[in-house]
Amino acid sequence: MKNGQRGRLGVLFALVGVVVVVTLLAGAVFVYGRIQLEAANTGTEAPTVITVKPGESLDQLANSLENQGLIKSALFFSAYARIRSVHLHAGVYQVDSAMEASEIINVLDGPQYCQPVTFVIPEGFTIEQIAERIGTTKGLDITRTEYLGALAQSGYTAPFLNIRPAGDTSLEGFLFPATYTVPDCATAQQVVQKQLTAFAQNVVPKLPSSPTEAYDDLITASIIQAEARFSADFPLVASVVNNRLAAPMDLQIDAIVMYGLHMSGQPMSPADEAIATPYNSYQNPGLPPTPIDSPGLATLGGALAPASTTYLFYVTDPCGHNHYSVTEAVHLQQISQYGSSC
C-alpha cells in the first residue's frame, strides 16, 4: 500500500474514531440529561406552592426550584424548558418533587393553582349576613355585591327549588349553613352552587314529597331557628306556629317582622310593628312568604316533628329559654315575669 493511501486510511479511521467518541459522548450526555430531568424525589412528598414573580427569568425560577429540592438540575431544566418554548406567567402554582421536569413544565404552562379557603356559614344566617361573611372572608376574591348578584342568576343545578310558589325567586333558606372549603379563585356562582348542592344532599332527603308542605316546613324551620336557642324548644316552637295557624291567629313573631325590615336579630319596636311589609306577622295571616334565614338540620327536625301541645304563646327570657302558655293572660304574666330575668 502506498504511503498516500495509508495516510488517507489513517485519516478515515481517525474521523470514524471521532464520530464514535462524539456519539458516545452525546449518548452519555443524553442519558445523563434524561436522569437530571427525572423526579427529584420518588417518594410521597407534600405539594409545594411556588410563586412565579413578574419578570422572573426561566433561569431564576429553575435555580429556585433546585434550591427547594423540586428538581435535580437547574441547568438541564432550563435547557429543556427552552426546547419546550415555555413562557412564564406570573402567578401561583402547585408542584412537588415527585414530578418529572416535563410534569412541572406542564403545570407552569397551565392554569394557576387556586389555594383552598375555608369559611363558616352559621345556622340562622340570612342571605344578607351570608353575603357579608363571603365578602369579608380573607383570601376569597368575591365581594358582597357579587355574591348577592349571583343569587339573582339562574342556571343552578337545583331542581328542588320548584317547591317555591310560582313567582318566588328567593334563595333564602336554601343556602345550607355549614363549613365550606372552596378554591380562592372560585366565583360567586360556584359558591352558591356549592351551597345549593349541600342543601340537596342534607335537607332535600328529609323534606316531604309535597312541594307545598316541604316549603312550609322549611319556612317553619327558619322561624324556629330565629326563635329558639335550645334544641328542647325546637318542637315546641313548631307546635305554637302550627297551633296559631290552625286557630287561625296571626303569628305575631318579631323575628319575621324584623326580617322584612332587613334588621334580623334586632329587637322590634312599636314603630317597627306598624310598618307594613309582606313579612309583618302582626298584619298578615299565615306563614311569611319565604324562609327568614338558613335553618339547620336540628330546627328542620323540629318543624317536621312538632310537639303535640295546645300552646299558643311563648316568651323568651334573657338566657334564651322559652316559656309557653295557652292563654294570653298567662302569656302577659310570663312577659312580666321573664321579660327581664331568667
pTM of the shown model: 0.81
User: 1 pLDDT exceeds 90?
Assistant: no
Domain boundaries, the chain: 37-113, 116-204, 209-338
Query: Which residues pair with residue 162 across a beta bridge?
Result: none
**Among 95-99, 173-177, 182-186, which stretch is predicted with the lowest mean pLDDT?**
95-99
Q: Take residue 287 and report the three cell numbers written for it.
A: 306563614
* pLDDT bucket at 35, cuts 50 / 70 / 90: confident
User: 2 pLDDT exceeds 70?
Assistant: no
pLDDT given at position 24: 47
| 250, 244 Cβ separation under 8 angstroms | yes
Task: Encode pLDDT of 136-169 as tens digits.
Answer: 999 999 999 999 999 999 899 999 999 999 999 9
Q: Nearest Cα to 173, choosing from 264, 268, 282?
A: 264
Rounded Cα–Cα distance for residues 288 and 311 (Å): 20
Which CATH architecture group holds 37-113?
Answer: 2-Layer Sandwich (3.30)
Other CB atoms within 10 A of residue 26 CB: 10
Q: Kindly state the average pLDDT of the residues 283-306.
A: 98
Q: Kindly state the average pLDDT of the residues 9-21.
A: 52
| 265, 275 Cβ separation under 8 angstroms | no
| 302, 227 Cβ separation under 8 angstroms | no
